[in-house]
Structure 1
Amino acid sequence: MTKLNLMIIDPQNDFCETPKNEYLFNKTSPALPIVGSNNDMKRLGSFIKKNIKTISNIIITLDSHYRMDIAHTCFWKTGDNDVDPFTIVTSDDIVKKTIIPRTKDNKKQIIKYLEYIEKSEKKGLTIWPVHCEIGTWGNNINNHIQISQRTWEDTNSKRTNIILKGLDPLREQFSVLSRDNRKNIKCINEKLIKHLDKCDILLIAGESSSHCVKETIEDLIYNSKRKNLENIMILTDCMSPVNGYEEDTRKFLSDMEGIGVTITNSIDIMKILK
């Protein structure tokens, strides 16, 4: 049987719908729950357990933010109030003072960053609820994945490669394979891409399919030297889009399939590889 490499993007509590009993136990709730995510993680956890000896390596990325992060609601204010989640902030908003950062430092740098974002065909910076705050329950790995991951580690005497992203409070970062530095230059994680290129079969799952999964895969595809793109396999039943971004996800998956990436699921993948 072919050895599999599994990359799980942001399988974190803040992105996952919380079952009622878990909510009562933790006395907290996810900041940005994605519809279908709990079942995504349940299926993925089951897949790991069923293929405990077949999976040779696991990489998990964790979205990890400080509370005062440029993409969080509490970073900004309009009048005396925080901005609403999913507000689009532009450089013009700051210049006109309709929306301004609460911090008094780095205002010019923030404007330049938003101008940089706007040049990349984005309307502006999307503002999210405070999520995946470092040290909180929401930053932790979802229980379905955590249990199966630990079982995989104990069975194979290996460790999961856990990679944090999003640590710069003045820069948004969806993809673990790229980040914008303070000079507004996109930096590619070439070392990790080379490592992923060496994986014979690379399975990718996680949350959300419309943002962090999408941008990570795009960075991998467009910076990879891999010729056999069919060996990159996206498990569509182990990911879901942020509400309102379903069409973006459909187009992304269609584009990936068009260039040769394998679009499959946690059941059919094993039929493909037999």
Structure 2
Amino acid sequence: MKTPLHDIFEEHRIGLSSEIGLNTLLDKASLEELSPASNDSEKILFLAIDMQNDFMEKGQLAVPGSHQDIHNSVRFLYTHLEKITRIAVSLDTHQPDQIFHPIWWMDAEGNHPAPFTVITPEDVQSGKWLPVHDGKESLAYVQKLAEQSKKELCIWPYHCLEGSYGAALESQFANMVFFHSAARRSTPLRIVKGQDPLSEMYGIIKPEVAIADEPGNEELLRELKNYDRIIVVGEAKSHCVLESLRQILEYYQAEPDVTSRIVVLSDCMSPIPGFEESTEETLAHFQETYGITVTTSTACTL
């Protein structure tokens, strides 16, 4: 008998700690009479990007709509528990002293920039904002962002600090990940990103500014190719989800058989406010150019 959803998922505690003990949860998962994931004839990967506490609506870098995204993602996983072969989760992982955090920069009066301040090469060259250390490298970074037409350097609130509550997977989503793992004997794939102090890393494959011709996480890229379908959810739609998609699609641009396997669940991700229009334009471009599917968690059938 299938475990009732309410024994796994406490909707009222999205963004809070779980009141369901993991031992209780996993004991119930072990009673599920499901075929091991290794027996799946169609291999399906559920790729969740940065579903972490700090991106929830009360987190340090809150994404409006993220609680509903968790709700929809959990229900989708529950509905398709016996079809999803493996769950992969990316974990944005930072230290306080990184180039996109306030402590890295200072003005002439010794003030650090407020969160969401944008720093351009001109700001650094004029002395409006100066790095506290690694001056040459910091200027080179913002210059490379401009040269490569990347997003400008944005100073983000301190978020996803390694070992903190904010860096952990959201509790209700984590419950479903662990339940699936035990019920289907499938070890979750964890993708740690964002640890380079001198670069932002929105995408799961490589930093914003990477070594020329460096493909990034080749092991992950090879792993993705093992699946017949790749279901993508996560936060924030406008930044880490979009850049992850871009990096994967550009790597496999000559292999439409691979790019067409990607399915984006649009109701399981939300953009940072102000980026809505550009996000939808980019997703439409990905659909047209690479053949990805954009649908919803209720319309997608496995």
Same fold (TM over 0.5): yes
Residue type matched to 1:74 in 2?
Answer: I
Per-residue deviation at 1:46? 1.6
Within 2, Cα distance between the matches of 1:182 and 1:226? Answer: 23
Stretches of 4+ moved more than 3 A in 1?
180-187
Secondary structure (helix, strand or coil) at the match of 2:97 reads coil
Within 1, Cα distance between the matches of 2:300 and 2:143? Answer: 42
Comparing 92-101 and 199-208, the one that deviates more: 92-101
Change (3 A) 1:243 1:45: same
Q: Percent identity among equivalent residues?
A: 29
Q: Is 1:16 equivalent to 2:56 in the alignment?
A: yes
Within 2, Cα distance between the matches of 1:190 and 1:113? Answer: 23
Greater gyration radius: 2
Q: Is 1:61 equivalent to 2:101 in the alignment?
A: no
In proportion to residue count, which structure has more strand? 1
Within 1, Cα distance between the matches of 2:285 and 2:71? Answer: 27
Per-residue deviation at 1:191? 2.5
**Structure 1 equivalent of residue 275 of structure 2:** 245
Residue type matched to 2:96 in 1?
Answer: R
- 1:261 equivalent among 267, 287, 292: 292
Within a 5 Å distance, the mapping from 1:147-226 to structure 2 comes to 147-179=175-207, 187-224=215-252, 225-226=254-255
Within 1, Cα distance between the matches of 2:213 and 2:158? Answer: 25
Change (3 A) 1:36 1:112: same
Per-residue deviation at 1:95? 2.2
**Structure 2 equivalent of residue 77 of structure 1:** 106
Secondary structure (helix, strand or coil) at the match of 1:268 reads coil
| Residue deviations 1:138-186 (CA, integer Å, cap 9, x gap) | 1010112101001101101221011100001111111111225776775
Q: TM-score w.r.t. structure 1 length?
A: 0.88
Q: What RMSD over aligned residues (CA atoms) do the two structures have, in Å?
A: 1.8
Q: Is 1:31 equivalent to 2:71 in the alignment?
A: no
Per-residue deviation at 1:123? 6.4
Secondary structure (helix, strand or coil) at the match of 1:111 reads helix
Within 2, Cα distance between the matches of 1:122 and 1:203? Answer: 26
Q: Is 1:136 equivalent to 2:176 in the alignment?
A: no
Within 1, Cα distance between the matches of 2:149 and 2:208? Answer: 15
**Structure 2 equivalent of residue 22 of structure 1:** none
Unmatched segments (≥5 aa) in structure 2: 1-40
Unmatched segments (≥5 aa) in structure 1: 19-29
Within 2, Cα distance between the matches of 1:108 and 1:194? Answer: 35
**Contact residue 197 and residue 226 of structure 1 kept, 8 A:** no
**Contact residue 116 and residue 184 of structure 1 kept, 8 A:** no
**Contact residue 234 and residue 264 of structure 1 kept, 8 A:** yes
Within 1, Cα distance between the matches of 2:221 and 2:144? Answer: 25
